[in-house]
Amino acid sequence: MRALAILLALVATAEARPNWRAFGGGAWMHYELSGLTEVDDTMRGSGTKAEQLVLAGGRLHGFFGKGDTIGFHGGFDFALGGTLQAGGFAYDVGLFPLGVGVRFGRTGVLALGTGVSFMGAVGTLDDAVLLPLEATLELGGGRLRLLARARASYVAGADGRQSAAPSAPFADELDATIGLRIGRHYEDYGFPTGNGYFVGASYRELAGTRFAGIVIGYSIDMATPRGKRDD
């Protein structure tokens, strides 16, 4: 919660002008745990010995701009874990400094971001640098909120992980989650805010293997007031 407050304070003071409402933005933060298991291996032996993958971490994203509908988007993702049967330490870290966010209603957002990420697992999945394109959709500001995210990545290096997404000839790897949050909505000092626990489905295609599983976690979202409608 403190990280969100700091991010929004930076948004509100990004440029010292008398009418700070000329600038708007929002931010969201997720703590999540995902567990996936292999459901299909179309390129057996090509790139991974992993059959189960467990990752825990967080996501912090935000957007800001002049006006309260479209703004610049940026974010940071990290997750650590392992491959259960093979016992390899796993990591997935991404930085998204370039993107755009479009706001819907008080706290809904559709964001596109790109940057660089790093992912691998000791002994089971070759380390690789990835160039991802990620889409995020969050809708709903009451007790229920839809959380969705999809990422398509190009792999640099790690030959066994290139051209290895069975469902996506345009990308080397895919990663997606969709979930439903049950929580609450409130407004402190005019800032629409929500939080709660969520559960959903997770899917990955990497190194020629399809993985599917579940994701659980806790999320927070916050945004600046929307002009005259919140005055």
Ordered by start, the domain boundaries in the chain are 2-230
**pLDDT class of 1 with cuts at 50, 70, 90:** low
The mean pLDDT value for 185-197 works out to 89
- Place 169 in a pLDDT band, splitting at 50, 70 and 90: confident
Q: CB atoms < 10 A from the CB of 123, how many?
A: 12
> How crowded is the C-beta side of 17, counted as CA atoms within 13 Å?
10
The CATH-assigned architecture of domain 2-230 is Beta Barrel (2.40)
Q: How far apart are CA 229 and CA 193, in angstroms?
A: 16
Give the model confidence (pLDDT) of 97-138 as tens digits. Answer: 999 999 988 889 999 999 999 998 888 888 899 999 999 999
Query: What single-letter DSSP state applies at residue 72?
Result: E
141 — pLDDT class (breaks 50, 70, 90): confident
Q: How far apart are CA 74 and CA 112, in angstroms?
A: 9
Torsion of CA 74, 200, 3, 95, to 10 degrees: -30
Q: Encoding tokens for residue 133?
A: 């394109």
Of the pLDDT bands very low, low, confident and very high (cuts 50, 70, 90), residue 48 is low
pLDDT at 144: 96
Give the separation between CA 126 and CA 116, rounded to whole angstroms.
Answer: 17
Q: Which has more confidence, 73 or 7?
A: 73
Burial of 14 (0-12, 13-18, 19+ CB in 10 A): middle
Band (pLDDT 50/70/90 cuts) for residue 139 is very high
What is the rounded average pLDDT for all residues in the chain? 84
Residue 163 has, within 13 A of its CA and on its CB side, a CA count of 1
- Burial classification of residue 192, based on how many CB atoms lie within 10 Å of its CB (0-12 exposed, 13-18 middle, 19 or more buried): buried
| 174 within 8 A of 161, measured Cβ to Cβ | no
What is the predicted pLDDT for the residue at 135?
97
CA-based nearest residue to 165, from 130, 192, 135: 130
Tell me the per-residue pLDDT of 61-98, one tens digit each, with 9 for 90 and over: 999 988 778 999 999 999 999 987 766 799 999 999 99
Q: Which amino acid is at 83?
A: T
Q: Determine the pLDDT at residue 207.
A: 81
How high is the pLDDT of residue 27?
94
Two tokens, residue 154:
């190009």
* 17: pLDDT strictly greater than 80: no
Q: In whole angstroms, how far apart are CA 9 and each of 3, 169, 171, 227?
A: 10, 42, 37, 17
pTM: 0.82
Most confident segment among 38-47, 84-93, 95-104, 205-214: 95-104
